[in-house]
């Protein structure tokens, strides 16, 4: 074992290392808390001054992370900064930055590249750089490797480079950062060894793979598996609806088979920072190899069509009540992308709101987790969450159940809404004013 590698591994095993986490969002913040909780010093780096200021004041900006946890971390040495020069102090730099799609549905690598450029001048011997952002196979080798080596450091000897995809599931009480196994791929065997030393302190189980490319594709396979199966059940939903069959009843029945079937449930479309986006990373990269990933793209088309399907079912329901879509007052229930969280990234609810507004509806929303519609890069609504009272529900021509938060009073909604368009299967008993979508 080389002296540099031995020193790096030793620092992580003794927990004397300073962990630098670049990007303090839904992935970076829980990771910071985990390393802090087991005795590491942690430095958070983010370009968002407001975020950094709030963290240093002991505040949280993510609903499921209590402010108390941030305050405890501050008291035990955590600090946040916008100063990238301080990357030189860190023994590990873990990059947790967004990888969205651009308007052409192609990977937008600007956050990863800009972050790597920002830390590049401050890289030094003995550090490890870990990319956690979901991306296409080859990103670590093609984008990070040359930049990390630009200053004369050799990866695998002087500095270490790994890819270890994030696996967060916000709002899921059954899993936390510590208990979700961690896949790690190193650029060299030495990189992998240092990467294991970094993560095995904080995560119960690490899963080494042979390369950064294998780790990158592992993350994509996980999310494509989910996207394809949701696409399948969304297509089945449309077929079942035409046949007068409740798809949720069918999935529940099929799920009793103890082998060979995994239950996926339909909805109004796909949301979140991974499932709607990641398949396009692979389809884009596959074209470089002359391959056309038809299966993946087809599921993407099906899932992308779901908000339109929900709106068409709403039109049918209003039509039965002798009302047109234009001019109708519609309340969208739940605008986070999944139940019981405040995360709105890629939420199909917002797309439904935009479709309705474009067709002349008067749109409002109710979401106990999102009191005010936030500023978003692509979506603009100057709205606050509506109170769910009997009187308020009755004032709308229709309500669209888009995200099935546990905090909603479903019996109140059933009793007082004039028309319910249910995209989540909450209402199983057929009623004249409830439409499955």
Where in the sequence numbering do the catalytic residues fall? 274
Q: How far apart are CA 56 and CA 71, in angstroms?
A: 8
Q: How far apart are CA 347 and CA 224, in angstroms?
A: 18
Question: Could you tell me the end-to-end alpha-carbon distance of the chain, in angstroms, rounded to an integer?
Answer: 60
The structure tokens 């067709």 sit at 359
Helix (H, G, I), strand (E, B) or coil at 349: helix
Residue 329 contacts residue 410 (beta carbons within 8 Å): no
Tokens of 150: 């630009």
Residue 235 contacts residue 250 (beta carbons within 8 Å): no
Q: How far apart are CA 317 and CA 340, in angstroms?
A: 28
- According to DSSP, the residues that pair with 161 across neighbouring strands are 129
Residue 220 contacts residue 275 (beta carbons within 8 Å): no
| Burial (CB count within 10 angstroms: exposed 0-12, middle 13-18, buried 19+), residue 394 | exposed
Q: How far apart are CA 271 and CA 345, in angstroms?
A: 7
Q: How far apart are CA 407 and CA 344, in angstroms?
A: 17
Instruction: Please name the residues in contact with 362: beta carbons below 8 A apart, sequence gap of 6 or more.
Output: 327, 328, 329, 330
Helix (H, G, I), strand (E, B) or coil at 149: helix
Residue 292 contacts residue 241 (beta carbons within 8 Å): no
């Amino acid at each position: 074992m080389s002296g540099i590698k031995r020193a790096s591994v030793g620092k992580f095993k003794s927990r004397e290392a300073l962990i630098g986490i670049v990007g303090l969002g839904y992935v970076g913040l829980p990771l910071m808390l985990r390393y802090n909780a087991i005795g590491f010093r942690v430095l958070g780096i983010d370009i968002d001054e407001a975020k950094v200021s709030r963290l240093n004041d002991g505040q949280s900006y993510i609903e499921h992370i209590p402010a108390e946890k941030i305050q405890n971390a501050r008291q035990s040495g955590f600090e946040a900064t916008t100063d990238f020069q301080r990357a030189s102090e860190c023994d590990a730099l873990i990059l947790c930055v967004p990888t969205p799609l651009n308007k052409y549905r192609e990977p937008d690598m600007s956050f990863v590249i800009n972050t790597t450029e920002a830390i590049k001048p401050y890289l030094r011997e003995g550090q490890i750089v870990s990319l956690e952002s979901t991306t296409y196979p080859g990103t670590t080798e093609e984008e990070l490797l040359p930049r990390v080596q630009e200053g004369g450091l050799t990866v695998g000897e002087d500095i270490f480079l790994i890819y270890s995809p994030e696996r967060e599931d916000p709002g899921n009480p059954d899993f936390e950062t510590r208990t979700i196994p961690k896949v790690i791929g190193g650029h060299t065997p030495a990189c992998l060894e240092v990467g294991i030393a970094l993560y095995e302190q904080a995560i119960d189980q690490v899963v080494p793979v042979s390369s950064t490319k294998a780790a990158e594709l592992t993350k994509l396979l996980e999310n494509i598996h989910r996207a394809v199966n949701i696409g399948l059940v969304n297509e089945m939903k449309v077929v079942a609806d035409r046949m007068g069959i409740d798809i949720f009843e069918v999935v529940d029945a099929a799920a009793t088979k103890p082998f060979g079937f995994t239950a996926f449930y339909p909805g109004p479309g796909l949301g979140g920072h991974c499932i709607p986006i990641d398949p396009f990373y692979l389809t884009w990269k596959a074209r470089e190899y002359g391959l056309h990933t038809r299966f993946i793209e087809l599921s993407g088309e099906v899932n992308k069509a779901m908000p339109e399907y929900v709106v068409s079912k709403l039109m049918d329901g209003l039509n039965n009540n002798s009302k047109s879509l234009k001019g109708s007052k519609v309340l969208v229930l739940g605008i986070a992308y999944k139940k019981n969280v405040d995360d709105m990234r890629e939420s199909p609810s917002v797309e439904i709101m935009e479709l309705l507004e474009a067709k002349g509806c008067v749109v409002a929303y109710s979401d106990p987790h999102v009191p005010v519609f936030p500023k978003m890069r692509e979506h603009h609504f100057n709205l606050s969450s509506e109170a769910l009272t009997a009187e308020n529900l009755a004032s709308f021509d229709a309500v669209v159940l888009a995200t099935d938060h546990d905090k909603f009073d479903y019996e109140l909604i059933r009793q007082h809404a004039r028309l319910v368009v249910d995209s989540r299967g909450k209402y199983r008993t057929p009623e004249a004013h409830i439409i499955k979508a």
